[in-house]
Amino acid sequence: IITSLVFLLMIVTFPISGWFALKIVPAYERMIIFRLGRIRAPQGPGMVLLLPFIDHWQRVDLRTRAFNVPPCKLTSKDGAVISMGADVQFRVWDPVLSVMMVKDLITATRMTAQNAMTKTLVKKSLREIQVEKLRIGEQLLLEINDMTKSWGLEVDRVELSMEAVLQPPRENLTGPLATVPPMPRLEGLDGTIQQLAAHFFSNTLALAGSGTGAPEAADSVEMVNEVEPPTTPLLATASSARRKPSADELLSAVEPVLSEALVNQVGASYQVDITLPSGARSTYFIDLSSGSGRAGHGVPESSPDVVLEVAEKDLQDLFLGDLRPLSAYMSGKLQVKGDLHLALKLEELVKALK
């Protein structure tokens, strides 16, 4: 009935309505139309009729496009630290899937390519990377396509580019220490996630592993500043307490550390939906968008910038420092609705709690 009424309205107002309802689609594009929320078959090339008020449309470019993976620091199997990037060419083969399955196609593909590149290169020595660059690119091409084919996207070429060798390989590195060296404050993550975390938090984190490779070096991560005495943390670590604090106790620990400085660093409000062990859900808010910040039960007064969904156990690990926000997100323990960059700024709150 609605469609018929709109057609009738177009006929009555023709030719004025034709100026807005007729669109020209070139041969290298397809138009995806949602009519009353339901997707239709791709339209084009040629002239396409759009019904005003009930049709929403999006153009999809079928031509080959390219993007670059920004250079990031990687540690190879033999201990060399390199800055490696990549150039990726891709094209859309199914315009419907490219619209339905992923919101930002280039960003999602860039993250997928970066993750695959990191996981592959940390398992190879510097010489293998330099000599087998083309073969590694072909291997990455297959791995990326396996992950992106469900998005209606096909990667045509992956070309690695080495920006610089920041640290030469350590010749005497053998045994278990030949893997990626642990990074300060990221010891709980595997090697791949450490490399991604180093890229995201490059302003505050640096790659470790400058020692001689003695087995005792892995136990020397926790250090106390000899100049400045350590302060007592607001939350006890998991190793020093038999029972982890509940969600209410975590909230009580958050309130004293809220400050204008923390608000200036974060500048966002969060709604945290916590799943309790009993299966019930509890909602809290942490407002770091204005003033000195606020925290409490329920939802924030204004619409939150980010909605987080997490189990109570994982929330405890996050606030106690046993789990990083980036690692929680990539492992699926932390569900984010909103800006991922703002969600990862919870790291500043965790630092304040320490």
Could you tell me if 263 and 343 lie in one domain?
yes
Residue 351 to residue 233: CA distance in whole angstroms: 10
Domain boundary among 126, 147, 167: 167
Confidence at residue 152, expressed as pLDDT on a 0 to 100 scale: 92
The answer to whether residues 29 and 126 belong to one domain is no
Q: Which of 167, 185, 202 is the last residue of a domain?
A: 167
- Owning domain of residue 293: 247-353
134 or 245, greater pLDDT: 134
The single residue listed with the structure tokens 């910038």 is 305
Query: Is residue 76 over pLDDT 90?
Result: no
270, 196, 317, 265 alpha-carbon torsion, rounded to 10°: -40
Average pLDDT over residues 87-111: 91
Could you tell me if residue 36 is inside a domain?
yes
Q: Is 174 part of any domain?
A: no
Straight-line distance from the first to the last Cα atom of the chain, in angstroms, rounded to the nearest whole number: 62
Residue-wise pLDDT for 222-259, tens only, equals 443 434 444 444 454 444 444 677 777 777 777 777 78
Q: What is d(CA 43, CA 56) in angstroms, rounded to the nearest whole number?
A: 13
Same domain, 97 and 157: yes
Q: Is residue 217 part of a domain?
A: no
Mean pLDDT of 59-81: 89
The reply to whether 254 and 348 lie within a common domain is yes
Which carries the bigger pLDDT value, residue 273 or residue 234? Answer: 273
Rounded distance, CA 206 to CA 184, Å?
8
Same-domain pairing of 5 and 68: no
Residue-level pLDDT at 7: 81
Do 30 and 128 fall into the same domain? no
**Average pLDDT, stretch 72-77?**
87
204 falls within a domain: no
Highest mean pLDDT: which range of 98-112, 193-207, 273-287: 98-112
The mean pLDDT of the chain is 76
Q: Which residues in the chain belong to E strands, given as ranges?
A: 22-25, 29-35, 38-39, 46-49, 55-61, 65-75, 81-92, 153-167, 268-275, 281-288, 294-297, 306-311, 334-338
Mean pLDDT in residue range 91-104: 91
Query: Do residues 109 and 161 both lie within one domain?
Result: yes
Question: Residue 221 — pLDDT band, cuts 50, 70, 90?
Answer: very low
Q: Is 184 among the domain residues?
A: no
The residue whose two tokens read 């968008």 is 289
29, 93: one domain: no
pLDDT at 206: 38
Q: What is the pLDDT of residues 299-328, one digit of tens each?
A: 877 788 888 888 888 887 777 777 777 777
**Residue 113, in any domain of the structure:** yes
Question: Could you tell me what percent of the chain has a pLDDT over 70?
Answer: 79
Domain for residue 97, yes or no? yes
Helices and strands per DSSP (H, E), number in the chain: 13, 13
Sign of the dihedral through C-alpha 194, 199, 205, 209 = positive
86 and 156, same domain (yes or no):
yes
14 and 104 inside one domain? no
44 plus 88 within the same structural domain: no
In the prediction, which pLDDT does 142 show? 92
Mean pLDDT calculated for residue range 83-96: 92
Whether 229 is covered by a domain: the verdict is: no
Q: Are strands 29-35 and 55-61 parallel, antiparallel or unpaired?
A: antiparallel
Dig out the tokens for 127 from the structure: 């010489």
The closest of 143, 171, 159 to 76, measured between CA atoms, is 171
* Model confidence at 180: pLDDT above 80: no
Residue 144 CB neighbour total at 10 angstroms: 23
Torsion angle, CA of 109/115/116/120, rounded to 10 degrees? Answer: 160
In whole angstroms, what is the distance from residue 3 CA to residue 36 CA? Answer: 9
The region of weakest confidence among 80-84, 271-275, 329-333 is 329-333
**Domain check: are 38 and 130 in the same one?**
no
**Residue 90 belongs to a domain with what CATH number?**
3.30.479.30
What CATH number has the domain bearing residue 269?
A: 3.30.1050.10
Q: What does the pLDDT read at residue 141?
A: 92
- The larger pLDDT score, comparing residue 291 to residue 156, is at 156
Find the helix or strand (DSSP H, E) in which 216 lies. none
Report pLDDT for 97. Answer: 92
* Per-residue pLDDT tens over the stretch 2-32: 888 888 888 888 877 777 788 899 999 999 9
Q: Is the pLDDT of residue 162 over 80?
A: yes
Q: Between 156 and 167, whose confidence is greater?
A: 156
| Domain finish residue from 139, 167, 195 | 167
% residues pLDDT > 90 (the chain): 18
Mean pLDDT within 61-69 = 91
- Number of independent structural domains in the chain: 3
